[in-house]
Each structure stands twice: as structure tokens, then as C-alpha cells.
Structure 1
Amino acid sequence: MPVRTKIEMNPALARRISGLDDLARIFFPDNRNHQRAFVAIWLEIKYADNQFLLSSTDISSRYEISSRILDIVRAKLKKLGIIKRISHFNPTYGYRSGWVFSSRCSSMLQKMARMLRSYATATRDSISEEKDRASLHYV
């Protein structure tokens, strides 16, 4: 069976999320090492002072996760907008560099849900219908 690297966007799985382990299976299906790294990063940021993780270098030794896997998972979480890197030029965090949770992913999911609802609603406007039907030419 091939290993999947994509996010599992299955509504049935999303409804059954009851903990971080379930969330890890959605973001990293079929890769237990990445799932463990995800949970480790999440917990370290969550329970750090002011949810500001100064460094993630000790996570690999504390949880027995390779630094390569930790870097891969951290990069994917950053790309998804779940965590973000704070530069030492940022005065908000006292000019310290580190990692924090980001609201980009949750904001994007909320916006996407609103867009799906609005695009599924039919209007009596003929211009909107023509515009929707013209979308076929651009895909």
C-alpha cells in the first residue's frame, strides 16, 4: 500500500476528531513518525510560557524524534499556517525569535466554509448564473 502524503480531508474523519492524535492522523496520514512529531510540536508550543517556544532543538531528544522528521513536520505546519516563526526583530515578543500558533489556517478554513455556502446558494440573477457557467471555460 503506497504511503499518502496529502492531508486527509474526509468529513467523516473530521467529525470524529476527539484529540490531538486524531488531528495528527488527518494532517499526516499513514506516517506515525510525523504524527508523533506533530503532537510533540503542538504540546511544546501549547505549554510553553505565553505559548511562545524559543527553540525546537530539544524536542527531538526529549521525544526521541529525529531532527530531520521534526524539520519536515515543522515546515509543513508553517506552510499550512498552523504555526509561525517569530523573528528576533519583532517587538511583540520582546525581540526574541521562536515559534507560536498562527491563526492563518483557522481563518482560511472559516473563509472557505463561508465561500462554499455562498457558492452553493442559487440566485435569481442571470448575470451570476452566466458567470458561474463561464467558470467551465477557465478550468
Structure 2
Amino acid sequence: MKTRWPGLMMAAMLAGCQPPTTVDDAWVRLPAVPGRPAAAYAILSPGSSDDALIGITTPAAGRVELHESMNGHGGMAGMRPLQRLPLPRDRTAALKPGGAHAMLFDLTGDPRAGSTIPLTFRFDRQGDVTVTARLVGAGDPAPE
């Protein structure tokens, strides 16, 4: 009887070589009115495995919530909370204005346009990915 160890070992080694989920181009739009929430955006790439964004944290805010913008009744825009944002493998997803995004409540310190804050993206499979996000003023153009 032949053993299957070499095949199993190769499969295990290849499984460990999966590209990780990445977060790129993270930025935060500061609120126009002090005391109101800011909004965070980024490009998420899950690599070759399905994943899901399950939360974001930062020491620069009291709490962070995932939301999705939507058209409400009578053409009124609104938002609904998201518990998770599915990330199908080999596709990018964007946290962007008018779509899925994160709301940063109770900003701490003295956040100013041009400075940065850390954002930790929590993924179902990948775990945590911490990036530096640039702060953009309420009336300033979005980063390119």
C-alpha cells in the first residue's frame, strides 16, 4: 500500500503560500462639524481565498462602525449598519464614498488634515491588518 504523505505535505505547503488579504490606499474624511463622525475608506484585496471584513479599530476614535450607503424612500440617502463585508477571492472591494465605509465616532486628540492615524482592519480569515490612513479635510478632494 502506498502512503499519501508526499501529496498531503505538498497540499499543506501550498495552502500556507496563499497571498494574504491586503489593505491599500486607506484614508479618512474628517467631519465638517467638530464632534461629528469621520468616514474611512480603503481598497481591500482578499488574495486567492474568500474572506470578510468584520470590523475596524483605531486608537483615534471611541468606536468604529461599518456602514453601507443606500437610497432610501423618496430619494433620501441613508445608511445601514454592516456586520461584515464579504470579500470574494481574487477580487478587490472598495470602502468608498457612497458605498460601504467605516464611520469613526468620538475622534480623539486633535486630528488635522494632512496627518495620519492607524487603522486596524479585522478580517474573518486573515486576522488583523494595520495600516496608516491619511486624514483629509471635509472640503478637500479625495486622494488619488
TM range (shorter): under 0.3
Q: Structure 1 length normalisation: TM-score?
A: 0.22
Q: Which has the higher helix share?
A: 1
Greater RCO between the two (CA within 8 Å, min separation 6)? 2
Q: Which has the higher strand share?
A: 2
